[in-house]
Structure 1
Amino acid sequence: MVAQRLLSFATFSVVLAASSSALADGDPEVGKKLFFERGCAVCHSFDGTAKQGPTLIGIVGKKRQVITSEKPREIIADEEYIRRSVLQPNHDIVQGYVPGAMPGLPITPDEARHLASAIVKLSGSATPEEKPRGSIGALVASTLLFVLGHLVLSSIPVRGIFERRIGVKWFQTIYSILAIASAIWMEMSYRAAPYVELFRAPPWTRWIPLAVMPIALLFFVCSVSTKSPTMAGMEKTVAFEPRGILRITRHPMLWSFALWGFAHIAANGDIASLILFAGITMLAILGMMHIDSRRRVTLGDAWTPFVEKTSLVPFARGNVGKAFAEIGAIRILVSLVVFGAFLHFHKAVIGVSPLP
């Protein structure tokens, strides 16, 4: 028994020493930079924070239960394992994770060497770097403020009280400031919230945003380039004949946000993402009903013909061919260009590649 323990300890020490020595030719600082540039930090942490993938603190020299070629086995995280995991992420699947959860990235052998060197250096850290974290409670509070702030302040009774006391312009200014401030707080709370997995999104769900977002962006582009009585300050256009995107839905902008939120709920399995994107989706859907109810009161009989010619649910009225003919090729092209820009800048801004 004592001999076995000594042998295990010796094996552990040799592996750790060998790994550190073998990777000494890599540059840890270059590796750490690559770690963030290539999006590794989205799923793995340098500070012990729980994310979609395991933290890299203390990984070198540890035993790991993996699935290799559909067979379970136990390995020790050494130089070969680290480099293989970087270059061939689906070769050894850590038990509890699904194949494809770690996307394959165009990493060169030299870059893998630098990354592995950074991981080895991190593994030897006795005191992980700590950074302040937020909480799920703060995200819930900021999301509720964002959703309820929009709905409550824009309701006829509340809005009427404020407009009578401070005037329309001051109300619109305060409303805009509160809306922007709550959105910023919500975004900051989301970025600082701990990663708590609710379910593990299958790899195929990463295709959902890619399929849905072009439609959402087309709705958004059309909404800002089409006069509609559902938009603030355009109530007088209720007498116009609905054209283009309004033949598909009378709430194109809100549907663009609803589709965006829904698509990202499906592709993310953590509680923070569910709260954020569900909040945005809920505000968009409730906002449509809220606007319809408000316009029914403020526009009276003039609102009825517009409602009869349009629909809340997209494509419910038909006339799809005529709608797209009126939307035109330019709006579709602009939407595709915006979508391409989203794909290009998504990793730099959000920190994760949108591609499967």
Structure 2
Amino acid sequence: MAWSGFIIAYVVFFLSHSLPVRPPLRPWLQRRLGRGGFTLAYSALSLAVLAWLIAAAGRAPHVPLWDWAAWQVYVPLTMMLPVCLILALSIARPNPFSFGGARNARFDPMHPGIVRWARHPLLLALALWSAAHVVPNGDLAHGVLFGTFAVFAGIGGRLIDRRKKREMGAEWHRLRLAVARAPLFSSSVSAVHMLRLSAGVALYAVLIWLHPFLVGVSPLP
């Protein structure tokens, strides 16, 4: 079957993202790997399966959904810069509202950083990345791939909110109200923030350079 490789990769991707984070498997893995080890292993697995899924979409039969136009390449080229900046500002930062937060006990709701703009910045980055890549990939396999990611990011935020409310109780509502009262823009930019922003720009440049080697297509016009 021509679609079998894509279907198998698609199923494995969602199983690998849903099973390890559900009880009793997640507590069992965290006891053996530690919280940091679990996060590292889960992230590595996610990236590996994602690369497999993208490659499988490229090998799937080409069923066009809309015609390609030269302007379409500018959509992901433009949107990937804010995606990289969001990643740089959110990874390994305290965020008790979402997954991927580090040192959450040190979270300051009066200085929440990017959490003031989005409780789930990693999911926001995923949504922007996937929606931007739908535009120049107007075939069925890539439409299913990136469209599903965009929907997954939207639903994922609601599911995480529900779980965190259950786990944190009244503390979740207290922190959310405190974050809402924090200023949208900080009055000062620290050296750490500048370093993270620089890292985001560097990541953007590296992804443009690596794209032909990883995907086989240049992202540049």
TM-score, structure 1 normalization? 0.51
Aligned partner letter, 1:355: L
Q: 2:95 aligns with which of 217, 220, 228?
A: 228
- Name whichever of 293-302 and 145-154 sits farther off: 145-154
What is the match of residue 136 of structure 1? 3
Aligned length: 212
Confirm or deny: 8 A CA contact 2:211 2:218 kept in the other structure.
yes
**What's the secondary structure of 1:269's corresponding residue?**
coil
Q: Which residue of structure 2 aligns with residue 209 of structure 1?
A: 76
Relative distance call for 1:328 and 1:285 in structure 2 (3 A) is same
Unaligned runs of 5+ residues in structure 1 are 1-133, 312-316
User: 1:237 is matched with which residue?
Assistant: 105
Quick one: distance in 1 between partners of 2:14 and 2:170? 29
Is the helix fraction higher in 1 or 2? 2
The CA distance in 2 between the partners of 1:318 and 1:136, in whole Å, is 49
Deviations 1:171-195 (A, max 9, x none): 859x838646643542342232122
In structure 2, what is the equivalent of residue 162 of structure 1? 25
Higher-Rg structure is: 1
Contact kept, 8 Å, 1:136 with 1:272, in 2: the verdict is no
Q: Which structure carries more strand by proportion?
A: 1
After superposition, the Cα gap between the structure-2 partners of 1:288 and 1:342, relative to the gap in structure 1 and judged at 3 Å, is same
Q: CA deviation at 1:263?
A: 0.5
Write out per-residue CA displacement over residues 263-282 of structure 1, whole angstroms, 9 at most, x where no aligned residue: 00012101121122123223
Amino acid at match of 2:200: S
Structure 2 gap ranges (5+): none
Distance (whole Å) between structure 2 residues aligned to residue 254 and residue 248 of structure 1: 13
Please point out which of 66, 83, 97 is paired with 1:199. 66
Alignment CA distance shift 1:270-1:318 (3 Å): farther
Residue type matched to 1:162 in 2?
Answer: L
In 2: Cα distance, 1:265 partner to 1:195 partner: 14
Matched residues in 1 for 2:32 and 2:147: separation?
31
Match of 2:175 among 301, 306, 310: 306
Q: How far apart, in 1, do the equivalents of 2:151 and 2:140 lie? A: 16
Superposed displacement of residue 307, structure 1: 2.3
The aligned residue for residue 39 of structure 1 is none
Q: CA RMSD in A?
A: 3.2
Greater relative contact order (CA < 8 Å, ≥ 6 in sequence): 2
1:347 Cα deviation after fit:
1.6
Give me the whole-angstrom Cα distance separating, in 2, the residues matched to 1:178 and 1:207. Answer: 30
Whole-angstrom distance in 1 between the partners of 2:147 and 2:187 = 29
Q: TM-score, normalised by structure 2?
A: 0.78
State the 1:216 CA deviation.
Answer: 0.4
**SS of residue in 2 equivalent to 1:321:** coil
Amino acid in the other structure paired with 1:215? P
Supply the AA of the counterpart residue of 1:169. Answer: R
SS at match of 1:353: coil
1:345-356 counterparts in 2 under 5 A? 345-356=210-221
Three-state SS of the structure 1 residue aligned to 2:84 is helix
